[in-house]
Structure 1
Amino acid sequence: MNEVERAIETPDEDEAARDRSEPTADGPEGAGHADGASNDAGPAESAEDTAQTGPRGPRRIPMLLGVAAVAYVLDLVTKLIVVAYLEHRAPIELIGEWLQFEVVRNRGAAFGIGEALTIVLTAIAVVVIVVIARLARRLYSTPWAVALGLLLGGAFGNLTDRLFRSPGVFQGAVVDFIAPRHFAVFNLADSAIVCGGILIVLLSFRGLDPDGTVHKD
């Protein structure tokens, strides 16, 4: 009986030894696989975070050009109308003396500044247009597209006057007609330029770049 019992018990001991030698998910090798999975997940999450902060979607060039076209057309049409119907006539009161339409030929910058620098201001307008064109290559932000579109439309509006109005090319006088009381006379191009500039300052304070990324100082 002793030999039979030993024969029966021996397979159980061998099986137990094999069980002890086989790795489990909780053992060292299983932990290694778990760590590997964890390490693989880390770079994937980092890449995802990087993608979220990078440029998204198509470039916003169509929006930039659309805003610029609207600003330019509105400025051009209003100037044609006021020159045809209001120039050399008495001012039209909109809100009493506080806001009037009065046509003024301005050879300076916005709001009548720098009247002796017409050629210089024309060159500056051209430089602004070139800079905006270069920024457009990495423009993915909608707010930046609106801001740059306003600047572009306003710059083109006043540049058109300087190129085609009297007294001559690069010396033409800009047509201003919006005349608030105790303030300089201006036009829609001036308004677009100022609004675009204010929007750019706000976007810069918020850390939003033209390519759509957000940075924190």
Structure 2
Amino acid sequence: MTGEPTAARPAAPAAGRAGRRRLAMLLAAAVFASADLGIKAWAEHALADGPIEGGPLDLQLAYNPGVAFSVGANAPGWIMLAVTGLITTVVAVALWRTAPTARRLWGVALAAILGGACANLIDRAADGQVTDYLHTGWWPTFNLADTFIVLGGLLLVALSWRADRPRPAQT
């Protein structure tokens, strides 16, 4: 030992902020997923005897073994589960990697997509199909998780177009 005082390394505030942002985005995704899973559980009991008419949006129980628009409905269940699991993992990795520097709306969009994807994955894991309950009459029956995924995707597209542009140099 040299007798020189050693300086303690300061905690990395950026690392703490990154962790808090990741946690906040994961918690938001969990809230989105929980909302859909709770409504799916309710719909399976409340809509078993028939639909509830609500005007432009009815509540009607349906099951979808495929993905959007029943694509892949005839594929083996394990393939659908593997594909949706892979997509969900990719979204989770994107959220994790971009959380430290992402704008707040970007994080909300990714959390909505991840929450919706997780809810549908959890629902599909039980019996190989996703529970749908929102019916318009002119569009395939869907669920809240699908809405989260679509709105999150649209928000990401909108934010991509609105990317920060360098300002012209002032003279």
Regarding TM over 0.5, the answer is yes
Question: Following TM superposition, by how much is the alpha carbon of 1:125 offset from its aligned partner in structure 2, in angstroms?
Answer: 2.2
2:35 is equivalent to residue 74 of structure 1: yes
Conservation of the 8 A alpha-carbon contact between 1:63 and 1:146: no
Inter-CA distance 206–189: structure 2 relative to 1 (3 Å threshold) = same
Distance in 2 (CA, whole Å) between partners of 1:110 and 1:138 is 26
Q: Tell me which residue corresponds to 1:143.
A: 105
Match of 1:153 in 2: 115
Distance 1:158 1:215, change over 3 A: same
* Secondary structure at the counterpart of residue 145 of structure 1: helix
Q: Which blocks of at least 5 consecutive residues in structure 2 are unaligned?
A: 1-13, 167-171
Provide TM-score, normalisation by structure 2: 0.76
User: Which residue is 2:51 aligned to?
Assistant: 91
- For 1:202 and 1:215, the matched residues in 2 are separated by 15
Percent of pairs identical after alignment?
Answer: 36
Change (3 A) 1:63 1:100: same
How many aligned positions are there?
146
In structure 2, which of residues 64, 78, 95 is the aligned counterpart of residue 106 of structure 1?
Answer: 64
Tell me, which stretches of 5 or more residues in structure 1 are unaligned? 1-54, 166-171, 208-213
For residues 56-111 of structure 1, give each alpha carbon's deviation from its aligned partner in whole angstroms, at most 9, with x where no partner exists: x9332123112211111111110111111212x2211011xx32111001101134
Q: Partners in 2 of 1:119 and 1:190 — Cα distance?
A: 20
Letter in 2 for 1:62: L
Give the letter for the 1:175 counterpart.
T
Judging changes above 3 Å, is the alpha-carbon distance between structure 1 residues 107 and 138 closer, same or farther for their aligned structure 2 residues?
Answer: same
Partners in 1 of 2:39 and 2:119 — Cα distance? 11
Contact persistence 1:72–1:157 (CA under 8 A): yes
For 2:65, the aligned partner's letter is: R
CA distance in 1 between partners of 2:122 and 2:35 (Å):
13
Checking the alignment, whether the CA contact within 8 Å between 1:148 and 1:196 is kept in structure 2 is: yes
Higher relative contact order (CA 8 A, sep 6+): 2
| Runs of 4+ that moved beyond 4 A | none
Q: Report SS of the residue matched to 1:90.
A: coil
Counterpart residue identity of residue 110, structure 1 = A
8 Å contact kept, 1:112–1:185: no
Q: Secondary structure at the match of 1:94?
A: coil
